[in-house]
Structure 1
Amino acid sequence: MELDLGAVRAFLAVVDDGHFTEAADRLGVSQQAVSKRLARLESDLDVSLLTRSRTGVVLTEDGSAFLPHARALIGLADQATALLRARRRPLRVDVLARVAAPLDVVRAFYEAGDVDVDVVVSRGAVSPHTALADGSVDVAFGRVTGPLPAGIERTPAWLEPIPILVGRRHRLARRRSVPMAELAGTTAWMPGCAGESEWADYYRRLSAEFGVVIDTSGPVFGGEHLMDEIAASAELVTFGTTRQFPVHPDVVQVSVTGPTPVYPWSLLWHAANRHPAIPLLVAHVQERYRPFDPRTQWLPDEALFSGSRRSGSRPARPTGP
């Protein structure tokens, strides 16, 4: 005997709603169809599962015994269906911001293979750990600053060099690079880079290490306003790249050296997520990662980014539910 899942769903709908009419509305079928499905199920099981009353339906003794198994059966069916659908859907990748290095990493991955990708730009509105745990995204890029929650895996992904931006009248505008020591005592104006974001934490630690003052004062009117102010000043400096802001003819980018501050991007995923494209992206990232060089680079959490290109772990390729 093989049970009809549609009939089992009809049984559960009647039990949960208490009436054939409400169950039919929930299933999107006629009341007659629900009655036929339930009758077929009772015939297959050779028992009576429900009795009608003036107030609705009542489970029989056999119906009460069958109910938990019916819920488990439908639960497993729904879980299997959801798993297969998830394996066919695009890989959801949180790149945090469209103007940051992870977008280039994901684009290179997409162009090198045949994996569909759905790019998510959270801008840190939701913790990546939360998004990975609840399945809102499959993988996420971000900076790791401490122990990871249970189930979250990581691998170093990219060390993004951070230059400065100055106006053409600034004394550094004609330089191709400037040593970090020369920036000591300089004030970098970065409105909005405050609070508890990972960006703010990074620059607080850079400030403490090299004596560069980070000024977060002033309202945030957007990148265009910031570039206008930098261009008009002979004194203002900000950290960032020209790709992060609207193009301005009077703003130039100057590399920072000795050491170069780099922003440490990690790729994060949840161990329980079995999307088949996760191992492919992890492998792509690990193959292209260049390890941290303490002689020429600086970052606030060296221990997480020192070591070989293979640092981090690859998720096992999914073999089934």
Structure 2
Amino acid sequence: MDLDLAQVHAFVLAAEELHFGRAAEALSISQQALSKRIARLESVLGTALFLRTGQGVELTRAGHRFLEPARQTLAAADRAVAAALDEHRPLRVDVWGHLYAPMRTLAQVAAGSDAPPLELGHGRDLPSVAAALLRGDIDAAFGRVHPPLPAGLTHRLVRLEPVDAVLSADHPLADEPALRPEQLRDSLLWAPATLDRLDFLHRFAERFGIRDHAEGTNLGLDGFLADLAADPRRFSLIPADVPLPHTPGIRSVPLVDPTPLYAWSLLWCGSGPPHLPALLSALAAEAGRSRWLEYDPARDWLPEPHTGEGRD
């Protein structure tokens, strides 16, 4: 079955707007022309995609099923055109998990001679960058990946980074040379958002019996640490290599027996853009040099995969 991309585009816009007039305006065509495109698409598919009502239009069950693959089809077509016409443009990579400074890892790789040119941006969280990938707005993304992921996305583990406990200097455990995670059970886990949106912290709290937690607004690492320092019960988790700003009243203590590991991954859509193999090769080479993928289950802890909707 051959799909006409103009018809698919008309369907996606109409499905997003649920209004043929606004969709037609976005395409700079008449509403009659848009209706004809959708009618032809429905004829090719052999099923109705919209229910026409007196109040407007609604997606049928078939329309709901078709919408996400249709978006992916348009994004793949955009990537194909870009690959044919602009092979020398930078690879557009968004990062997320900003409190944990994901740009450090990409900057280390981008400085090498074998890395392709990168154009780095910021996504809000995993769902937002996944949506940007499926739309074709970006080529790849970098951060912590966990299920569920939308269909059509692929990821590869790049780095496993040890995590330290960061505590108020007045915390009873602040002067310890190292801590076991279970020693933090009576402490207050401080988070930069609601805990159910932060998969890693959520998994840590569940695994090690951290019962009490509190949330603030993510205003950057400086503000987060200043709020943490204000309460002697508070602690949080920060990757060990993140350079902490000079914040009075803060202690960083290694975690052992086991050491939690934060997993960084590269995420992309479909077969990926032309520069993707070069970036993956550069990441693998740096991982080998810097021992980024070392993991000993007798010594380290990684969160179990799950199907919740955490966002970090």
Would you say same fold, with TM above 0.5? yes
The alignment partner of 2:179 has SS state of strand
**Uncovered stretches (5+) of structure 1, i.e. residues with no partner:** 1-25, 27-77, 304-321
Distance 2:225 2:180 in 1: 23
Q: Note the C-alpha offset of 1:215.
A: 1.4
Measure the CA separation in 1 of the matches of 2:203 and 2:133. 27
Find the structure with the greater CA-based Rg. Answer: 1
In the alignment, the residues of structure 2 paired with residue 284 and residue 149 of structure 1 have an alpha-carbon distance, to the nearest angstrom, of 26
**Alignment partner, residue 238 of structure 1:** 236
* 2:159 corresponds to: 158
Corresponding residue for 1:106? 106
Cα displacement string for residues 44-85 of structure 1 (whole angstroms, at most 9, x for unaligned residues): xxxxxxxxxxxxxxxxxxxxxxxxxxxxxxxxxx99864344
Q: Shift of residue 291 of structure 1? A: 4.0
Contact 2:186 2:212 in 1 (8 A): no
Give matches, 1:116-265, under 5 Å. Answer: 116-124=117-125, 126-146=127-147, 148-195=149-196, 197=197, 200-217=198-215, 223-240=221-238, 243=242, 246-265=245-264
3-state SS of 1:112 partner = coil
Distance in structure 2 (CA, Å) of the matches to 1:228 and 1:81: 48
TM superposition score normalised by structure 1: 0.60
Specify whether residues 107 and 173 from structure 1 end up closer, same or farther in structure 2 by C-alpha distance, changes over 3 A only.
same
CA distance in 1, matches of 2:125, 2:109: 23
SS in 2 for 1:163: strand
Q: RMSD of the TM alignment (CA)?
A: 3.1
Q: SS at 1:133's partner residue?
A: helix
Identity %: 29
Query: Are the structure 2 counterparts of residues 191 and 129 from structure 1 closer, same or farther at C-alpha, using a change threshold of 3 Å?
Result: closer
Query: How does 1:304-315 map onto structure 2 within 5 Å?
Result: none
Match of 2:300 in 1: 297
Contact 2:94–2:140 (Cα < 8 Å) also in 1: yes
Measure, in 2, the Cα distance between the counterparts of 1:154 and 1:79.
18
TM-score, normalised via structure 2 length: 0.61
The AA in structure 2 aligned to 1:278 is L
- 1:256 deviation in Å? 0.9
Amino acid at match of 2:117: D
Consecutive unaligned residues of structure 2, counting only runs of 5 or more, are: 1-27, 29-77, 307-312
- Deviation of residue 270 (structure 1)? 1.9
Relative contact order: is structure 1 or structure 2 higher (C-alpha 8 Å, sep ≥ 6)?
A: 2
> Residue 81 and residue 263 in structure 1: after superposition, are their counterparts in 2 closer, same or farther (change >3 A)?
closer
Aligned residue type for 1:105? T
Distance of aligned partners of 1:251 and 1:90 in 2 relative to their CA distance in 1, 3 Å threshold: same
Aligned residues of 2:152 and 2:270 also touching (Cα < 8 A): yes
Kept in 2, the 8 Å contact 1:158–1:264? The answer is yes
Instruction: Report SS of the residue matched to 2:147.
Output: coil
| Divergent runs of 4+, >6 A | 78-81
